[in-house]
Amino acid sequence: MILQTKTVEKFMTLWSVLERRLLPAYVWASDPLTFWRERILFIICFLAAVLGPIALIPSLWIAHQEGLWSVVLLDSTAYFTAVVIIIGRNRPLKVRTGAVSFILYALGVCLLFILGPVGAGYLWLFGASVIISAIIGLEAAIWTLVLNAVTLLSIAVFMAYGQLPWTIQFDNALEKWLVMSGNFLLLNALVTLTTAMMLKGLSKAISREQDISRSFQESEERFRAISEFSHHAICIIDETAKITWVNNRMLEISGYSRGQVLGGGTFLDFLAPESSDFVANNYLKFLNGEVYQHHYHFNIIRADGENRLIEKYMTDYADKHGRRHLIISMLDVTDQKRAEAERKVMEERIRQGQKMEAIGTLSGGIAHDFNNILSSVLGYAELALNTVEMETPLEKYINGIYQAGIRARELVRQILMFSRKSEKELKPVQVNLIVKEVLNLLSSTTPSNIKIEHNMNSKSLILGDAVHIHQVLMNLCTNAVYAMEDTGGVLTINLTDVILDEFFVTPYPDLNPGNYIKLEVLDTGTGMSPDILEHIFDPFFTSKKPGEGTGMGLSVVHGIIKSSGGEILVESTPGNGSAFTVYLPILQNGSAVEIEPLTALPRGNEHILFIDDEVRIAEIGEEILRLLGYRVTIRTSSLEALDLFKRRSNEFDLVVTDMTMPNLTGDRLAVELMKIRPGIPVILCTGYSKRISEEAASDIGIMALAYKPIVKADFAKTIRKVLDEAKGMTQG
């Protein structure tokens, strides 16, 4: 059995070689029907050429013996035609088929006329019709049947008239011929028509299959074009998680080549560790026929090692063999998520900015009115202190009112400074002196269950404001004491000089490498949770009980440190206390500002026009200036003041005017006054105004700004300075 199989295999191999060499080259790229028609014609001609001599030689010998030279000629012609057809294989199929069929038909007809049934001519007629039906088609097959019938009937006619010599060999030759012809035509029709119709049906089936194949190919090309055009990465995986198909976008996202992706690994090999368990479990649900998650996010590791976030959509389908597959569509959303995170940070900054703007608007709105009120409080308190008997309870009470007013004035300035509506001039400050002052205050006000420790190892200077630095330290220490007032603990204040390098300052864009003072305020109190730490510098945020905090303290501290070019850091955990660390840049080659000694207030006798729409403030201003020796004329209307100045401009040595007034604001009034009398010195008083600044005031000729609420000492110095400068310019 094995030997027979090997023999058959060798024969088929040899036959394939012959077909490759002898069939036309176009056959191997043609449609299946043409391919088999060529092979049929080749087999017929090849077998005729190879096996034909077995029948041809005896036939020629007999014909030679009997002197039938026409038969010899016909048989020889038929044989050589088969050989010529093989050699001329590049001729069209129908031409070669027609030549073979014509030779067979001619051979059959001649043999029938010459030898009758014994010459087997009808077999050649049969062969010609079958070849035509198999190779050319049904219509040609029908015509060959008609031609065969006509041929056989023609021979019968010849027999009826006794013109065929072989008829004398048979009794009732015509009747027998007609019977044989009928049977032949019936068998010929059955085989020819069946073959032609079978091949016609096969041709239609092949055509339909080709149409389906073309449609499938077109569908595949459309799918491929769509998938390659898609911005999504698409892949198909089988039940073993092996990737069986990918588009180019998948290769771009993964960073691998097509061969690496389809090279035998699984889809799970591309997952990042943090996503592998979830994706694997979801895939097991798919395999087990359970409900699995179709849309989720996961991470992959690219070929270059980069971790990318992927948004995944997937669905499954079964092929014709019932095997299930997953179609996975993926979108790289790494950059999108980063942009969303950055947008959230930016939105938070914008919200914070809007919050700060709202605070600024609020502070600006209340500053003017509140400072006018404070001006009255402080003015009347100062006037009262000038008339009350010293070291009496009344003097103590009035002085308390005055100190409260000063504190209120500083509170307004803090709010304005926090909202960047007010800025003080920065001067060299020695921080250790401020720390000592704060320690003295704390020692008398801190509960006895809280111990205060300090380490002072710096005498360096910073560029800042002493009041602000005092406020920063007091605020931090007050919060520390509050955190320990129930349980007690230790408050530690450290002051040292440090050098910050580039590595340290990298996370803090406001810091530059260099020399800094490091101020630490440490406590062992209750500590803070992360959610509180996140908001401690937000305006109006407080963790204190209702009524115990405004939420402005640390916000102001943060603003002061930032405006001083520094940074404030905080570390805290619940139950383990808190640590606030402040870094302030050290001022090189500077000297601390000396506190000016108390001296008598400067006085004068010049005539001053004092203008303020608040009657009380105008009266207080008049009283204070008269106590300083000046002659004073007051007006509570800017229009009345302008009219007075037009009539008596030469009587006044100085004009002091409020900024915010109806009809004419202080700056516009100053311009009109200087049109009437160029060079008249003007002092502009303001609690807060968005319209005016020291630079803007100087540009229009105003010589000084006085900030409400005005304190007598500051006011006296400002007035004397402006009058002296005006005299100097006049004399010069």
For residue 633, pLDDT over 90 is answered with yes
Torsion, Cα of 174, 180, 184, 185 (10° steps): 40
Strand order in the sheet with 307-318: 243-246, 233-237, 324-332, 307-318, 295-301
Reading the block at residue 115, the tokens are 């030898």
Task: State percent of the chain over pLDDT 90.
Answer: 12
Q: Residues with Cβ < 8 Å from 701, sequence gap 6 or more?
A: 670, 671, 674, 682
- Alpha-carbon distance of 129 to 125, in angstroms, equals 6
What is the mean predicted confidence (pLDDT) over 463-470?
81
Taking only the tens place, the pLDDT of each residue in 432-442 is 888 888 888 77
Mean residue pLDDT across the chain:
78
Give the highest mean pLDDT range of 4-8, 366-370, 436-440, 581-585. Answer: 581-585
Residue 547 region by backbone torsions, left for phi larger than 0, else alpha for psi between -120 and 50, else beta: left
In this structure, are residues 167 and 116 in contact, taking their beta carbons and an 8 Å threshold?
yes
Buried b (16+ CB within 10 A) or exposed e, 140-164: bbbebbebbbebbeebbebbeeeeb
pLDDT of residue 256: 86
Nearest to 232 by CA among 333, 341, 338, 339: 333
- Alpha-carbon distance of 401 to 393, in angstroms, equals 13
What is the mean predicted confidence (pLDDT) over 288-305?
87
pLDDT of residue 612: 92
H/E stretch holding 152 reads helix 138-160
Q: Residues with Cβ < 8 Å from 666, sequence gap 6 or more?
A: 611, 638, 657, 658, 659, 660, 684, 685, 686, 692
Reading the block at residue 203, the tokens are 């041709």
For residue 640, pLDDT over 80 is answered with yes
pLDDT of residue 436: 87
- Alpha-carbon distance of 381 to 396, in angstroms, equals 11
Paired residues of 175 in beta bridges: none
Q: Which of the pair, 651 or 169, is modelled with greater confidence?
A: 651
Which amino acid appears at position 124 of this protein? Answer: W
In this structure, are residues 477 and 438 in contact, taking their beta carbons and an 8 Å threshold?
yes
Paired residues of 331 in beta bridges: 311
Reading the block at residue 92, the tokens are 């069209």
Q: How many CB atoms lie within 10 A of CB 632?
A: 18
Buried b (16+ CB within 10 A) or exposed e, 203-213: beebeeeeeee
3-state secondary structure string across 534-547:
CCCCCCCCCCCCCC
Torsion, Cα of 248, 252, 258, 259 (10° steps): 180
Which residue reads 């027998």 in tokens? 176
Q: At what angle do helices 431-445 and 466-484 cross, to 10 degrees?
A: 40
Taking only the tens place, the pLDDT of each residue in 642-694 is 999 999 989 999 999 998 888 898 899 999 999 999 989 999 988 765 566 77
Reading the block at residue 675, the tokens are 């049109």
- Alpha-carbon distance of 138 to 123, in angstroms, equals 20
Taking only the tens place, the pLDDT of each residue in 53-71 is 665 566 666 666 666 666 5
In this structure, are residues 589 and 599 in contact, taking their beta carbons and an 8 Å threshold?
no
In this structure, are residues 119 and 75 in contact, taking their beta carbons and an 8 Å threshold?
no
Candidate from 319-323, 347-351, 505-509, 698-702 with smallest mean pLDDT? 347-351
In this structure, are residues 81 and 100 in contact, taking their beta carbons and an 8 Å threshold?
yes
